[in-house]
Amino acid sequence: MSKIIVRGGRTLSGTVRVHGAKNSVLPILAATLLAEQGSSVIHDVPALDDVRNITQVLSALGVSAEERDGSVRLQAESLTSYEAPYELVRKMRASFLVMGPLLARLGKVKISLPGGCAIGTRPIDQHLKGFEAMGAEIGFGQGSIEATVSGKLRGARIYLDIASVGATENIMMAATTADGTTIIENAAKEPEIVDLANFLNAMGAKVRGAGTGVIRIEGVERLRGTEHQVIPDRVEAGTYMIAAAITGGDVYVEGAIRDHLGPVVAKLEEMGARVDCDENGIRVQAQKPLRAVDVKTLPYPGFPTDMQAQMMTLLLVADGTSIVTETVFENRFMHVDELIKMGAEIKVDGRTAIVTGGTKLSGASVCATDLRAGAALICAALVADGSSEIGGVHHIERGYMNIVNKLAVLGADIYRAPSPEEILMQSEQASLQPDVLLQQLEQRASAKADVVIRNIQPTLA
Ligand SMILES: CC(=O)N[C@H]1[C@@H](OP(=O)(O)OP(=O)(O)OC[C@H]2O[C@@H](n3ccc(=O)[nH]c3=O)[C@H](O)[C@@H]2O)O[C@H](CO)[C@@H](O)[C@@H]1O
Ligand SMILES: C=C(OP(=O)(O)O)C(=O)O
């Protein structure tokens, strides 16, 4: 298994640029299935495992995809299958987002049940309730769902019991070419919903109200391919903001949009960090001791659950005791046990965690159980005494592109140790002995960090 090794104690400074939002790009790639004419070009697509995975799902359905310099061109004029393969869907929940577009486009879909994951059971009842209201017949068998609709989907009024991001997106996509108007009540309001709606509208759809609790979709005859720039990743941005604050650093997060990060900015300011926002990004400086604050996760515009683990880690270095409440997922405190291995004092009671600030963290061997837990462990390792070894890197690489290089550029002492399989593969490609390659990789990792730090420091004058 690959590992991320961090030696704590470096103060981060410099500029880091965020990539396109994972949680926007996944539904947008699924939505390209709706283009009956022309191709779609999506810009600022991050090279993430999740993106590769959904692209493979699309290919299995007959979409051709071509990547160049972070832009992906997709052609979905002639789909060849209505079946999303089990082995791909099981790897990633978001691949369930092809269900709405396939129902709209082909009137038929077979897809495996996505199942739960480390952070919760994550049912899909609200997605299915929406499709049924629009006339789909849904059957279950052998771990998969088969849905059909005779003729076209019909517009319907759908009230979501939970403002689910995925259900809002799936239903919104299905409704674009339905007969009549669909109204989604208690819709999710996340920026990624707005980004998807903008993409759909550029394809010819008529979606109004995205970003509010009521979304109205008037069905149109057909959609065509278009070009779209994905919004910057607010969770990646927030993670670097926390990394800056936890090390008492000074970091400009280029591309971060203040309006998307309201609660994270507010909490950092309440803690005593200085946050300056301009139209190109957000600068975080945290040279003074930070204060404890309470945090409760909520659907947007509340504090994002995807930032809870990182924020909890920051609270470990604050003065005083903080209370963190997770209301979105029922099991999103898996990072706590790992943080405790590093010396953290945290007590969990149901959906609440009591975090004692000011405890010294020490380097340890820990494991990321999910994507944001992994980001939180990296943040903890940045301030811990000594070295930490973080496993479960594949979780982290689902959502953070080049995280090790980006942090190294900011001054972190961080290195990604490849797994034996990766070393073998790379040494074969480079025609080198595995131990020689490993030595080269290690030398390159530290040399690169030093060079780039020297270049970047003056930009923060
Ligand atoms: C790819 C993507 O965009 N992922 C994000 C998306 O996930 P995702 O779209 O899966 O999250 P949802 O908003 O659907 O889930 C929120 C809550 O609703 C529950 N629920 C959801 C659907 C349903 O049919 N029934 C039901 O009970 C879930 O179990 C969870 O407790 O939003 C989450 C909440 O902001 C984020 O953490 C994820 O990063
Ligand atoms: C939970 C997350 O993603 P996903 O819904 O893809 O599992 C996340 O991005 O933190």
Q: What is the pLDDT of residue 458?
A: 32
pLDDT band for position 431 (50/70/90)? confident
Q: Which residues pair with 388 in a beta bridge?
A: 6
Residue 347 φ/ψ, nearest 5 degrees: -120, 130
Omega before residue 304 within 30° of 0, cis: no
Q: Is 123 in the pocket of ligand 1 (CB under 6 A)?
A: yes
Domain 22-229, CATH among 2.60.40.10, 3.40.720.10, 3.65.10.10, 3.40.50.10320: 3.65.10.10
The number of the ligand 1 atom at minimal distance from the alpha carbon of 50 is 1
Asked if residue 288 has pLDDT above 90, the reply is no
Per the listing, tokens 């405790």 go with 340
SS3 37: strand
Q: Is 93 in the pocket of ligand 2 (CB under 6 A)?
A: yes
State yes or no: 56 annotated in a binding site.
Answer: no
Interface confidence, given as ipTM, is 0.99
* 241 C-alpha to ligand 2 centroid (Å): 19
For the stretch 301-351, pLDDT in tens is 999 999 999 999 999 999 999 999 999 999 999 999 999 999 999 999 999
Closest CA to 412 of 4, 12, 18, 17: 12
Q: What is the pLDDT of residue 420?
A: 80
Burial class (CB in 10 A: 0-12, 13-18, 19+), 312: buried
Whether 417 and 353 have beta carbons less than 8 Å apart is answered as: no
Q: What is the pLDDT of residue 452?
A: 39
Q: What is the pLDDT of residue 456?
A: 34
Q: What is the CA radius of gyration of the chain?
A: 22
For the stretch 348-400, pLDDT in tens is 999 999 999 998 999 999 999 999 999 999 999 999 999 999 999 999 999 99
Asked if residue 269 has pLDDT above 90, the reply is yes
Per the listing, tokens 């910057």 go with 232
The number of the ligand 2 atom at minimal distance from the alpha carbon of 306 is 10
Residue 198 φ/ψ, nearest 5 degrees: -60, -40
Asked if residue 457 has pLDDT above 80, the reply is no
Closest CA to 250 of 286, 291, 276: 286
- Going by C-beta distance under 8 Å and a sequence separation of 6 or more, which residues neighbour residue 118? 331, 334, 369, 370, 373
Q: Indicate the top mutation candidate among 122, 195, 298 to test ligand 1's pocket, ranked by most ligand atoms within 8 A of CB.
A: 122
Q: What is the pLDDT of residue 116?
A: 63
Lowest mean pLDDT, pick from 121-130, 290-299, 425-434: 425-434
Q: Quick one: what percent of the chain has pLDDT higher than 70?
A: 95
Whether 350 and 392 have beta carbons less than 8 Å apart is answered as: no
For the residues of 260-279, what is the DSSP string, one character each? GGHHHHHHHHHHT-EEEEET
Average pLDDT over residues 47-54: 94
Asked if residue 4 has pLDDT above 80, the reply is yes
For the stretch 100-156, pLDDT in tens is 999 999 999 999 988 667 888 899 999 999 999 999 999 998 889 999 999 999 999
For the stretch 244-266, pLDDT in tens is 999 999 999 999 999 999 999 99
Tell me how far the alpha carbon of residue 3 is from its chain's centroid. Answer: 20
State yes or no: 347 annotated in a binding site.
Answer: no
Lowest mean pLDDT, pick from 72-76, 119-123, 177-181, 403-407: 119-123
Q: How far apart are CA 215 and CA 207, in angstroms?
A: 7
Q: What is the pLDDT of residue 152?
A: 96
Q: What is the CATH number of domain 3-19+232-460?
A: 3.65.10.10
Q: What is the pLDDT of residue 134?
A: 98
The mean pLDDT value of the chain amounts to 93
Q: Quick one: what percent of the chain has pLDDT higher than 90?
A: 84
Closest CA to 443 of 418, 415, 424, 420: 415
Q: Is 94 in the pocket of ligand 2 (CB under 6 A)?
A: yes
Exposure string of 388-418, with b = 16+ CB inside 10 Å and e = fewer, is bebbbbebbbbbbbebbbbbbbbbbbbbbbb
Residues of the chain with CATH 3.65.10.10: 3-19+232-460, 22-229
Q: What is the pLDDT of residue 108?
A: 97
Look at ligand 2, atom 10, and give the residue with the nearest C-alpha.
Answer: 306
Q: What is the pLDDT of residue 446?
A: 57
Average pLDDT over residues 236-241: 98
Q: What is the pLDDT of residue 444?
A: 67
For the residues of 193-229, what is the DSSP string, one character each? HHHHHHHHHHTT-EEE-BTBSEEEEE--S-EE--EEE
The answer to whether 117 is a known catalytic residue is: yes
Q: How far apart are CA 245 and CA 274, in angstroms?
A: 9
For the stretch 434-451, pLDDT in tens is 777 777 777 765 554 443
Whether 282 and 252 have beta carbons less than 8 Å apart is answered as: yes
* 186 C-alpha to ligand 1 centroid (Å): 14
Asked if residue 455 has pLDDT above 50, the reply is no
Q: What is the pLDDT of residue 81?
A: 97
Average pLDDT over residues 57-82: 97
